[in-house]
Amino acid sequence: MKELSKEVKENRKPEYEINPLILNRWSARSIKDEEISDEKLMSLFEAAKWAPSSRNGQPWRFIYSKKNTKYWDTFFDFLTDSNKMWCKNAPVLIVIISRKNFEQDNQFSRNHSFDTGAAWENLALEATRIGLVAHPIGGFNVDKARRILEIPNDYEVEIMVAVGKRGEKEALSENLQQREFPNGRKPLKEIVMEGKFNI
Ligand SMILES: Cc1cc2nc3c(=O)[nH]c(=O)nc-3n(C[C@H](O)[C@H](O)[C@H](O)COP(=O)(O)O)c2cc1C
């Protein structure tokens, strides 16, 4: 991806030059009520699986549901009311879980969530590259998701993700329309330190 989108150009000012794909990924909420192909959906998981992980343990697992299948309502029901408001059109909802112990020796992996977070970002960047929105969601009933999806206790339930094509901003409520733009970040001087912790 060579170009920044117009809205990203207007709203995001990197301090150093980076790949435009990274800046073009943002969590839009307006999603079209339109199917996406299995080919595209699977390419997102393909991107995710190439993330690095401690001892190449690959702790990430993805449970998905497509709109107009028997699973979608169940997934939608996990969401908080405020997330339901903008997720209602999403053609795909995903629950991302993470295996807490290594498969090799069943020892706890201190980095399992870190690894699964890297996989999530790969998924989101690939979605951006192929023109899709992938919006991460922490606001859902984790216990209910675990119970209904029969997720074993040796997996952490991490996040849900709404995936689909970008919709019109005007399709959102007034309140959400005001938040429908790529947001900024703290400056590097607030997050980067040389030598020791000194902020
Ligand atoms: C773990 C996690 C949980 C989040 N939960 C929600 C959520 O419940 N609802 C929502 O609308 N956005 C949620 N977000 C999106 C964040 O608000 C968003 O990523 C953040 O503001 C940075 O903006 P950007 O993703 O557009 O760059 C979540 C993001 C992450 C990484």
Inter-axis angle of helices 112-129 and 38-49, to 10 degrees? 140
Q: Is residue 180 part of a domain?
A: no
Q: Is residue 10 part of a domain?
A: no
Q: Is residue 176 part of a domain?
A: no
For atom 7 of ligand 1, the residue with the nearest CA is: 137
Q: Where are the alpha helices (DSSP H) in 20-156?
A: 20-24, 38-49, 72-76, 81-87, 112-129, 142-148
Q: Is residue 150 part of a domain?
A: yes
Question: What does the pLDDT read at residue 1?
Answer: 72
For atom 17 of ligand 1, the residue with the nearest CA is: 27
Atom of ligand 1 nearest to the CA of 25: 27
Atom of ligand 1 nearest to the CA of 27: 26
Pocket lined around ligand 1, Cβ cut-off 6 Å: 26-27, 83, 136-139, 159, 182-183
Contact yes or no for 28/135 (Cβ under 8 A): yes
Q: Is residue 195 part of a domain?
A: no
Summarised one tens digit per residue, pLDDT across range 12-25 is: 999 999 999 999 99
96, 123, 137, best to mutate for ligand 1 pocket (most atoms within 8 Å of CB): 137
**Which residue range forms the structural domain that includes residue 115?**
37-168
Q: Which DSSP category does 170 fall into? A: G
Summarised one tens digit per residue, pLDDT across range 74-100 is: 999 999 999 999 999 999 999 999 999
What is the CATH classification number for the domain harbouring 109? 3.40.109.10
Q: From CA 127, how far away is CA 84, in angstroms rounded?
A: 21
Q: Is residue 6 part of a domain?
A: no
Read off the pTM: 0.98
If one counts the domains in the chain, the total is 1
CA of 124 to the centre of ligand 1 (A): 12
Summarised one tens digit per residue, pLDDT across range 172-195 is: 999 999 999 999 999 999 999 999
Atom of ligand 1 nearest to the CA of 120: 31
Q: Is residue 198 part of a domain?
A: no
CA of 92 to the centre of ligand 1 (A): 17
CA of 159 to the centre of ligand 1 (A): 10
Q: Is residue 29 part of a domain?
A: no
